[in-house]
Each structure stands twice: as C-alpha cells, then as structure tokens.
Amino acid sequence: MLIERSDTSDPARRPVASFRTRPAIAVLLLAFCVALTVLGEYLAPGFASTSNILQLLKIASFLGLVAMGQTVVMLVGGIDLSVAWVLTGAAVVFTNTSAGSDANAILAVSAALLVGVAAGFVNGFGVVKLSISPIVMTLAMNNIMLGVTLVYTGGSPRGSPSPFVRSIATGSFEGIPWMLVLWALLSFAVIMVTRYSRWGRRLLAVGENARVSHLSGIDNDRIKISAYVFSGTMAALAGIVFSAFSGASFLGMGDQFLLPTIAAVVLGGTSMFGGRGGYGGTIAAVMFTTLLSTILVIGNISAGVRNIIFGSAIIAAIVIQRLLSRGNDAT
C-alpha cells in the first residue's frame, strides 16, 4: 500500500508539469514588460532607449540575486524573511573590511559571504532541527542581523568598497554592464542545477512531498538547510555588489528588496508551498517588477501605494496558485 502511494505521488513527476507551465508564465510576464516599456516611453521619452534598458537591467540584477536564493528556499516549501538585513549586514562587513582598498578585496568578500552562510545555516537549523516556522525563524534572524549590524557599526557604517568590486558593479564591457553578465552567468548555472542536478531534483522532491522524499532515501534536513544557506549566500553577494554600486553601505539598504523579492518569486510561478517552479520564471518577474517600480516612480506614485500594489500582487498570485493546484489535483 505504501509503495502504491509513493508511485502515484512520485515527486519526480509533478514538477514536470510545472516546467511546462513556467514558460507560459515567463512569456506572459515578458509581454507585460514590453507593454510597460511602451508606457514608459510615453511617460518619459527615451525610456525605451538601449542605454536606459541596460541600466534598468543592471538595477534588476541586484533584485535578481536576492530572488535567486529566495526561489530555492520556496522550492522546499520555505521562505526567507531575513534577506533584508543579511544583505545589509554583509554589505557593512564588506565595506568596513575592504576600506576602499583592492588589497583587502578577497578578505572583505569572503567575510561578507561568510555572514550570509552563517545566517542561512542558522535559519535552516532553526527550521529543520528546532521545528520553528520558517516565517518566525527568518523574521527573528532578520531582527538579530539588524541588532548585530547596529552593534558592529555603532549606528554609522564605515569604509568604502574595493575599487575592483566597484568596477564590476558599475562598469560595462562594450556597453554591456558587468552586473548583467554576472547575473546572466549565475542565472544559467542556477537554472541548470535546479533542473538537472541531483540536488535540484531533491529540492523539488522535498518541497513537493517531504514524507515521500524521506521514504525514498533523501536527507530532507540537509536539503532544506542547504537551501537556506544558499539564500543567505545570495543575499550577502547582493549586499556586496549593491554597496559597491552605491559607493558605500548604509543601514536598511536591504529593506527595499524584501517585498519585491517575494513578489518576483511568486509571480514567476514558484509555489510558496514548495515543489513547483524554478528560477526561469523568477527572472521574467524580476524584470517585470523592476519596470513596474520604475513606471510607478515616473508616475509619482508614493512608496506606500507601491507597497500596496506589490502586496496585492503577491496575494493574487498565491490565490491563483491555490486554484491551479486544486485543478491539477482534481485531474
């Protein structure tokens, strides 16, 4: 009887359906991106110029890095609400350690990434080993990182980014921003790994049905912890390059990424309940949310209204996912 149930709910099968539906979501989002670009050109002539589009993609890359980790966490049925201050904490460590010198760049980048790895591991350990709700655990970690950062900086971040790292965050090659190249390379790697590697298949299996994946020999705890470690690492990497782009680190610099990150992942077709989705849809959603944010700013829409729009979009996407999930289960 147990074998029959594991066959009918084989976690390796149902994610395949999500791979068929994700391209449709991505195409729809890209169509919206085209429409927003046309609207932007109407509101601000020159908006659709090649140089401006490349600049928007550079800005989108920072959100894309954070959303990369968030996507992986959601694939296992979790959520990471600590990315805002993990990003900020890593950025502060990076600028303080690099102190504006390339001689300290390797140490500074390593120390900042270690902040993300440590925060991600603690998040994963709390969720898996202590059975703390992902929302509670990661929200607590966000507050812990806030406090640690305030103590570490004394309320005033110091230092400046390495010139080499800053050249990556702000420079370009033949007009193509280096950040766009970095984002593209990492995106390709993550898509390939999550789709075709053993680790990626196990992420989907654990998110789809943790009980079945455990019975099939998968170490659920290790997979979930690795997902949170990856999310923390990507938030830290985003903190490094965003502080380099900004020329300095500042308190609360990661707050602007939290809601758009969740919106991008959910709108991109990744289920908050795990087991369905991938980073391909997230990429399209990141571009959509970046364009939408820019259009709203051009239209003089307040930050409060922008948050209402993003929050409503998340709720709508979750409701749609619920309805689609019930429809798939019924068939």
At residue 223 the predicted structure's pLDDT band, cuts being 50, 70 and 90, is: very high
Q: Which fold has domain 22-325?
A: ABC transporter involved in vitamin B12 uptake, BtuC (1.10.3470)
| pLDDT, position 271 | 85
- Looking at the predicted structure, is the pLDDT value of residue 2 above 60? no
> What are 108-126's pLDDT values in tens digits?
999 999 999 999 999 999 9
Give the best-scoring range by mean pLDDT among 13-22, 140-149, 317-326: 140-149
CB 9 within 8 A of CB 212: yes
Residue 49: what residue type? S
| pLDDT, position 34 | 92
Three-state DSSP string of 204-256: HHHHHCHHHHHHCCCCHHHHHHHHHHHHHHHHHHHHHHHHHHHCCCCCCCCHH
Q: Residue range 269-275: average pLDDT?
A: 85
Q: Is the dihedral of CA 271, 114, 89, 190 positive or negative?
A: negative
Q: Residue range 278-301: average pLDDT?
A: 90
CB 61 within 8 A of CB 78: no
The residue extents of the domains of the chain are 22-325
Structure tokens at 70: 């968030």
C-alpha 188 chain-centroid distance: 15
For every residue of 155-178, DSSP letters joined together read TS------HHHHHHHH-EETTEEH
Q: Residue range 78-82: average pLDDT?
A: 96
At residue 327 the predicted structure's pLDDT band, cuts being 50, 70 and 90, is: low
At residue 326 the predicted structure's pLDDT band, cuts being 50, 70 and 90, is: low
